[in-house]
């Protein structure tokens, strides 16, 4: 395993984007998960920090005026910058906090911000006809993939990505300067049906009419937030790193959805993405939606999926063919972050934005989950 010389780092990023891409062709072509040559992101040193004040107000959405063309014109990070952005803070349930510096390696032989605009945006998070679907009934809510969506006590959504891990947006627990109120006692809620007539074990979905929903909560043991999100390190590109991983105090015992490296938008089935979340205009409901990807950068996907605050942190997923196992598989390829006002040739245009799981982000998040880089060789 070798470190990456700084001058070769940009070439590596381009290579990671290119390996395994397959162009759709032929009558029997299936949208297939690409094979990527993945890097390794490993801890190098850990520093103990003081306890945060947990004084930030929870924001259920973030906004930025830097749109697709703005991001495309931004140079890719250098090797040293990438190490800085992928270094991370860990917050523990007792309020203690650490900062971990990382190294990046390859295995040898391996494979618009005006206040008036913000007010208008809140009215326009639904694009035309509201295409969201509220998911009702235990036969849907408790079954995969909808059962992987969970609610954070700070008001956001998260997705189960391992036996005791939840992927969400960084802004749901950290405002870029400090942790939000309630993060020290952060909980994750699992939606469960509450039957009015006591027919909990009945097979018929009509046995409990109507069903009301309640949450079963599990405390969070620790959280990881990349330094790229924290102000002062990558202020201008913070939205690119708007993701966080939560480790629960006990296993949740539900089926989870694995993370995967985000393929190019043109390789997505139908060019579409899917996600489910707890939009705050439909309290108690899990809301599912899908839509086309309108544009992309190396770190972000731009789309106009209907969404409201509360859905941020949702795992964006697609279903593609897994060639090695000869089966279809859903994977999380991004995290729904928020919206951006974009100046498109002098005309304001708004997009909802998802943070893409790039090869480097996959290596980092996978290590957070597994604790062993050898288990993170397949994206």
Which positions are catalytic?
Answer: 171, 236, 312
β-strands 63-64, 327-344 pairing:
parallel
The token duo for 261 is: 């490296």
CA 12 to the chain's CA centroid:
23
Closest to 18 measured CA to CA, from 1, 3, 34: 34
For 249-260, letters b (16+ CB in 10 Å) and e give eeebeeebbebb
β-strands 212-226, 2-3 pairing:
unpaired
According to DSSP, the residues that pair with 340 across neighbouring strands are 64, 351
Give the Cα separation of 273 and 77 in Å (integer).
Answer: 27
DSSP letters spanning 171-233: GGTB-SSSBBTTGGG-EEEEEEEE-SSS-TT-S-TTSSSS-EEEEEEEEEEEEEEETTTSTTT
Number of H helices, E strands in the chain: 6, 18
Give the Cα separation of 266 and 285 in Å (integer).
Answer: 32
The token duo for 329 is: 């598989």
Give the Cα separation of 140 and 154 in Å (integer).
Answer: 25
Q: Measured in Å, how far apart are the chain's first and last C-alpha atoms?
A: 19
Summarize the chain as % helix, strand, coil (round to 5): 20, 35, 45
């Amino acid at each position: 395993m070798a470190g990456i010389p700084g001058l070769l780092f940009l070439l590596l990023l381009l290579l990671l984007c290119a390996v395994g891409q397959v162009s759709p062709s032929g009558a029997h072509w299936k949208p297939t998960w690409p094979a990527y040559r993945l890097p390794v992101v490993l801890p190098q040193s850990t520093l103990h920090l003081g306890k945060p004040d947990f004084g930030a107000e929870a924001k259920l959405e973030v906004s930025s005026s830097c749109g697709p063309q703005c991001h495309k014109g931004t140079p890719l990070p250098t090797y040293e910058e990438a190490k800085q952005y992928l270094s991370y803070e860990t917050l523990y349930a007792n309020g203690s906090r650490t900062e971990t510096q990382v190294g990046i390696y390859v295995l040898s032989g391996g494979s618009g911000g005006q206040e008036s605009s913000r007010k208008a945006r809140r009215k326009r998070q639904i694009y035309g006809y509201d295409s969201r679907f509220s998911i009702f009934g235990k036969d849907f809510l408790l079954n995969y993939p909808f059962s992987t969506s969970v609610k954070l006590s700070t008001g956001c959504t998260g997705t189960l990505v391992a036996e005791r891990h939840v992927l969400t947006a960084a802004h749901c627990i950290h405002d870029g300067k400090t942790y939000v109120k309630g993060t020290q006692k952060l909980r994750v809620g699992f939606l469960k049906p509450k039957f009015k007539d006591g027919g909990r074990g009945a097979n018929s979905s009509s046995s409990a009419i109507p069903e009301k929903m309640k949450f079963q909560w599990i405390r969070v043991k620790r959280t990881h937030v990349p330094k790229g999100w924290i102000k002062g390190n990558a202020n201008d590109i913070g939205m690119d790193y708007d993701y966080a991983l939560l480790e629960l105090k006990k296993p949740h015992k539900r089926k989870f959805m694995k993370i995967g490296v985000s393929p190019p938008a043109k390789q997505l089935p139908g060019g579409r993405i899917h996600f489910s979340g707890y939009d705050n205009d439909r309290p108690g409901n899990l809301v599912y939606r899908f839509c086309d990807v309108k544009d992309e950068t190396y770190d972000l996907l731009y789309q106009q999926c209907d969404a409201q605050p509360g859905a941020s942190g949702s795992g964006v997923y697609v279903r593609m063919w897994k060639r090695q196992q000869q089966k279809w598989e859903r994977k999380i390829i991004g995290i729904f972050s928020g919206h951006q006002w974009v100046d498109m040739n002098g005309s304001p245009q708004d997009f909802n934005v998802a943070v893409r799981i790039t090869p480097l982000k996959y290596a980092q998040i996978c290590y957070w989950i597994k604790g062993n880089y050898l288990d993170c060789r397949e994206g």
